[in-house]
Amino acid sequence: MTRLGRRAALIGTVSVSSALGLAGSARAATTLRVGVGTAPLSAETKALQEMARLAAERSGGDLKVDVFDSDKLGGSVAQLENLQLGTQDMLSNVADWYQHLDKGWNALAIPFVFGGVDHVKRFQQTATYKGWLAEMPGKHGVRMLADNWYRLPRVLLTTKPVRTPEDLKDMRLRMPDLDTYLRTWGALGAKPTVIAFSEAFLAMKTGTVQGMEAPLSGVYPQKFYQAAPFITLTMHQIAPYTVMISEKTWRRLNARQQEILTRAAQDAGDWYYKLILESFDDQKVKMQAEGVQFIETDTKPWADRVEAVIRAFETEGKLPRGLVAEIRALAK
């Protein structure tokens, strides 16, 4: 058990149900719980609902997936811990959160390492990446069901215009509790402040922080632009959303259920990416109509500041040496 397991906050009990019907001749539907931090109307939550629909339809009602949005099952770290313990069935989150499992995943959280979705896809085909997935069940007690929930790149949202890293000096920015985010944004001049994703809007609205970074595709559904109307197009990161399952839950499913659930998660990923691509142009027009300003920026000064953090992470053993170079070699 990793350190995550040792400090887990247990939420509920294992929710996989295989109870027999009253007559004993039919088994009740297997019910799974999946947690996510996004809002009810976000593309991520909608895609999980689509996954649930597909699983129920294809299993003839044998599989039921209940979606718990807005961190109702706990924060990101707690949910990952519970997944390892088997006290939570499934989790949907950004791939960079898995740096809590293995240091290699840190690379997906560092700005300006990946150049776009196609770049991410090429890395996902490497032996390095496939090796991470292969060792997850035995080493960490979790299993990847789908990692094809691609999104638009991450951008900077602030309460005042930001055009260069110098404009970030001493600006309080909401960050997740991930060392990669805290170190890189600190190097960029900001004052990173750890706040849960589900609390980010209120934190900006009340002035607790003066901005945050987030995927461009999530700005409108989460209403972040209403609190931070200046969007700097740094396009600095593009880690995909994913769907994970506890290995303990996985082993309770029969082969047919495993196949149906996996395919439902992957098909929902394709549905999700299509939804995002089709939605953003309209969302941008609506945001601009409400006064949002989209700010272009030269990303080189930003990327140059991050290089020192990459070297420090490699020296400290928090990032495998040569991994970033391997990823960058895949750029086209």
pLDDT per position as a tens digit, 62-88:
999 999 999 999 999 999 999 999 999
Whole-number pLDDT of residue 332: 79
Claim to verify: residue 202 and residue 259 sit in the same structural domain: no
- Domain boundaries, position 164: 154-237+286-328
Q: How far apart are CA 184 and CA 181, in angstroms?
A: 5
Whole-number pLDDT of residue 22: 35
Claim to verify: residue 164 and residue 306 sit in the same structural domain: yes
Claim to verify: residue 158 and residue 292 sit in the same structural domain: yes
Claim to verify: residue 158 and residue 293 sit in the same structural domain: yes
Query: 56-95: string of b/e by CB count within 10 Å (b at 16+)?
Result: bebbeebbbbebbbbbebbbbbbbbbbbbbbbbbbbbbbb
Residue 115 included in any domain: no
Claim to verify: residue 207 and residue 144 sit in the same structural domain: no
Using one digit for the tens of pLDDT, what is the confidence trace for 171-198? 999 999 999 999 999 999 999 999 999 9
Claim to verify: residue 32 and residue 70 sit in the same structural domain: yes
**H or E element, residue 267:** helix 255-289
Whole-number pLDDT of residue 165: 97
Claim to verify: residue 74 and residue 186 sit in the same structural domain: no
Give the global pTM.
Answer: 0.89
CATH of the domain at 17: 3.40.190.170
Q: How many domains does the chain have?
A: 2
Is a pLDDT exceeding 90 seen at residue 317? Answer: yes
What mean pLDDT do residues 223-250 have?
98
Is a pLDDT exceeding 50 seen at residue 6? Answer: no
Claim to verify: residue 28 and residue 141 sit in the same structural domain: yes
Using one digit for the tens of pLDDT, what is the confidence trace for 124-161? 999 999 999 999 999 999 999 999 999 999 999 999 99
Share the mean pLDDT of the chain: 93
Claim to verify: residue 179 and residue 269 sit in the same structural domain: no
How many C-beta atoms surround the C-beta of residue 106 within 10 A? 23
Whole-number pLDDT of residue 28: 85
